Amino acid sequence: MTRRETLIARSIVYAILTCREDGRPAWRPSLLERVLRLFYIYWLSFRLIRQDLFKALRGVWQIKEDDYRASFDIKQQKHKKRGTKTTLIAMGDMGYSGSTFFRTNDGAYLVKSIPRHFEHSFFKNELMLPYADHMRANRASLLVRITNLLESTHKSIGVILGITPSHHIVMENILYGQDQEPQGSSKPKWESWDLKPTSYFYPERDIAGGALASEATKSKLADEFNDKIRLSEDRATEFKRQLENDTMLLANCNAVDYSLFLVRISAADAPEAEAQPALQSGQTSAEPIPPAQPPFTPPNPPNWRTGVLSSDGKEVYRAAILDFFWAKHTVHAKAMTGLVRGYNLIDNRGPMSITTDSKEYRDRFLNMCMELLEVQE
């Protein structure tokens, strides 16, 4: 990893492992140290926002505190790779927001930076409490499980210049198990897609036929899934019901531009399909995270976090709703809406996914998800 990535990762790990019960840093800096840290480029001191709230959520999700902390402590990891010296592994900058991603060495969690003020302030001040209430009441929710929110305790040159992100979230990694050695002779094939409605106006793709944007820029647009998710009728009905429930929360909070992250695990010699009961609202797996079972034998009752077997028994699907931090009522979103409306006076292309109404985005998102399904009796 680069020096920037190493220092950011270390400051995140240090905060998670050493913060007090109230989330504040264990170490109280002197006046001189407070002045000097203004000149830091990469290292930041973090507090854990609403540590009590996220600790309670981890309890609801049956995540043991010792296991959770062990994922961020390289000394406590039993199955670390030989020569590994870092707890967090950099995954690069992904997407238009410029977010920095890390994953824990055991693959159980992801750490994502939220560098834009209007996004982390929306989650912290408006969405966090409704999100927590919703996740407590809906154990089978498809919203990604966020286990911590970190916020820097001070300003620094790095934060002011936009070099170092001041906020991070920790969330479960539904690609957990991808790096594990297969138990049999055949290695499962892992594929993933970040899906959003593609019928919206995307300037990078739609202006001048995409000629004005580089291929690297266009590669960051939403993926396309040119296949079907094959489910039984009961499981498809439950999937639709849970999507409607989760997106209703997001629409009520005025969130748009979220995506469905879909994972497909397949193998030529996948086991025969077994009868799996439909996951009822409020049910959850008794397994802690990370799950002990390999992908093709998810814990019962099956769920979209650990793996749902396809109707033909040849594939396992995982899914989560991600990136629900863009709110339509923020100043930045209103400015973007004004710009797009101005452009539409010249070339009517309709709204972007970040400028449309939250109810309308929900409708298109649900239609997209339903079109992915192939129901088999």
Structure tokens at 303: 């769920």
In the predicted structure, residue 184 carries a pLDDT above the cut 60: no
User: pLDDT tens-digit profile of 61-108?
Assistant: 999 999 999 999 977 766 555 556 678 999 876 555 568 899 999 899
The pLDDT value given to residue 93: 62
Q: What is the pLDDT of residues 341-374, one digit of tens each?
A: 787 777 777 777 778 889 999 999 999 999 999 9
Do the beta carbons of residue 96 and residue 202 sit within 8 Å?
Answer: no
Three-class DSSP category at 103: strand
Helix axes 128-137, 233-252, angle to 10 degrees: 150
According to the model, what pLDDT value does residue 235 have? 93
Residue 219: CB partners within 8 Å, gap ≥ 6?
Answer: none
pTM of the model: 0.84
Closest of 263, 245, 72, 248 to residue 174, by C-alpha:
263
Closest Cα to residue 71, out of 2, 173, 217? 173
Q: Evaluate if residue 306 carries a pLDDT over 60.
A: yes
Per-residue model confidence (pLDDT) at position 130: 97
109-156 confidence digits (pLDDT tens): 999 999 899 999 999 999 999 999 999 999 999 999 999 999 999 999
Return the higher-pLDDT residue of 112 and 187: 112
The answer to whether residues 200 and 353 touch, using CB atoms and an 8 Å cutoff, is yes
Q: Which of 93, 103, 71 is nearest to 164 (CA)?
A: 93
| The predicted structure's pLDDT at residue 7 | 93
Q: How far apart are the first and last CA of the chain?
A: 49
Identify the residue with better confidence: 170 or 28.
170
Q: How confident is the model at residue 28, as a pLDDT?
A: 83
Q: What is the pLDDT of residues 206-263, one digit of tens each?
A: 565 555 556 555 455 567 888 999 999 999 999 999 999 999 999 999 999 999 999 9
Q: Looking at the predicted structure, is the pLDDT value of residue 202 above 80?
A: no
Contacts of 286 (CB under 8 A, 6+ apart): 62, 299
pLDDT for 208 equals 56
